[in-house]
Structure 1
Amino acid sequence: MIKLPLSFGAALAISLCCSSSIPLPRAKSATKSLFLPYSSPPCPSAIATDLLSVLGSKNDASAVDKMEATRIWSCLRFLVPFSTEILKIRSDPRSNRFHAEDSGFSRGRMEIRRRSLREEDERIRWPPEPVMELARLAVDSGGDPAAIQAALDPAVLKIPDVEGLEEDKCQLTRTPYGRRFINEGLNAYLAFLFELISDRSPMIGLNINLSRYDLFHGHIFLAPDTGRLGILFHAREYPAYEKNIFPINMGYCQRGSCLAYDDSMNLRNILWLAPLPCNRTKGWLAPGVLVALDAHPGGIIYDCLVPEYVNYVRTIYEDDLGYNVADVNYFNIADTPSSRRIFIC
């Protein structure tokens, strides 16, 4: 049983996404293990860069120190297989969602499901054209957030009152209004990412709900060295207050939460990377990626990317990965197409 002094409650915020409380300044240092087998590099910027490199082009990946790359790989839990070879989901002992013997699927229906999984994998590795164009724009602009922001529709949208937000006096977003991309295909793809993360989370021992307490937002960023487009999603946003397990009062937005604090917090940071275009040709250097960053204590992700003052909730911040563009939010609005559930702030 983990206990935390109550005095830390007011000082602890799970992410930079605004709520009714005022976020504290970022800590300048992160915790390090005292018993590493080699001298660890500066944290967190060097590890963030190397994390993106091992998920990037072959040349970038090969430039990362082998021991460090091994430690990074040990903390990656892929929601979509990183290799071009399709891995067999049903071989994962942590998930029986797709076992024919458990689900009652016929062989024909299982084949349809496998085909659907392969198609979903390919939508991550090689997304639809509007996403590919946005990814290339990000690189061609030199990683300028304004280039991505210019693709947003100027129309202002009021953040909807869902799941009792107004009654609880909870503001989940940075502003009380949001926007969407002009291209509807981009909005639809963002909704696809939220829904795929929720659908596949049991594969890695995590059951994510698309709700105001769990997964509802991500942070769009551009990698500083390459301009690569990415989103850092934060699940497990508002665990329930529990005196002996999670004695932290997080304000109005925590009201009504039944989300248990447990080891699944280690996997709350989920990273999507768009395919990486070559800045000299029309070719592509790396496919898209969807992976949970395992921030278990003792791992390199925890040691170097989780600031000490939020290590209890395992928060990784998007500005350690790149330049912040905007927040993207997904709200469960009944009888509404998925693309209309997206609000960018």
Structure 2
Amino acid sequence: MLPWSADLAGRIDRHVIDSHVLRGNPLGDPHERPLWVYVPPGYDDEPTRRYPTVYVIQGYTGHLAMWDNRTPFRRPFPELADEVFAAGQTPPAIVVYVDAWTAYGGSQFLDSPGTGRYHTYLCEEVVSWVDDHYRTLPHRDMRAITGKSSGGYGAMVTAMMRPDRFGLFATHAGDALFETCYLPEFPQAARTLRDLYDGSYEAFLADFRGRVAMTRPGDGVLMEIYGYAAAYSADQDGTVRTPFDSNGALVPEVWERWLAVDPVRMARQEQYAGALKSMRGVWIDAGTRDEWYLDLGATAFHQAVLDAGLPSERTRFELFDATHMAIEYRYPLALAWLCERFAA
């Protein structure tokens, strides 16, 4: 494994989208966003051929330039994805890499008065732009979305909320079963706020922005929870409500707002169950040693998908021996499976 970039059999076009819906967002984040579009080998040789599309979204703190990062002895996903098509054994597709970074580290791909309209940005602006500029097959049955962690969460809820846009999805260790994956962190966050910031999130944010990030105890968990709260439980005026009090105990009316967007609970509701039942393909996986117990969330969501009426032959569920980290080798497996489902 060479420690520098390799030549691709296809190519990645790097664009910038000027988003109307992200203009004036609450955090003042850029409304011009990078967008990478991968076209498979042969795209330029067959000018009349059209292709299905797979949209790739990232986990919390993910931003588009991170796809260029390289780990010793391993290759980044764009190269692994290219290899899927270069081998010639998987039906080709266009792969779109989407950026939804915010000043809080992520958007959860939802529309929120705390962060901005990232769900609309993805489903309306990005999808329409790609369909206008590339030879796609512009139909929900030829459009998939995939991601890991918060990106896996985004894949689940986006497909459930917009089955008119996406007819397939893959989630790798996606945030789900919130009482299992999120609750254990609330007492830790409350204790850190008490000991270092007199119980004040405002004091933490002011301190965090005035120094090198991630250099004090609790930075990661405090910022992560606040980023989720900005997506799940912000008031219409942008005020972010956290789901626990100064002792780490739940604030029920806020916690209920989080639970309302838990994929497992959403899947049990009639409107979302109908969307799941309509999917042409659903891939769900997670590592059995996931630090946030997202293997349990994956299992619960898989059962909810089956309960919604999606035939088992249109699903793929796997638990594998791994933690939450460094599971990029799973992404091309799901990509190939989704592309085969396009052709089914």
Query: Is the helix fraction higher in 1 or 2?
Result: 2
Instruction: Report the TM-score when normalising by structure 2.
Output: 0.27
Instruction: Report the TM-score when normalising by structure 1.
Output: 0.27
Q: Could you say which structure has the greater relative contact order, defined with CA pairs below 8 angstroms and 6 or more residues apart?
A: 1
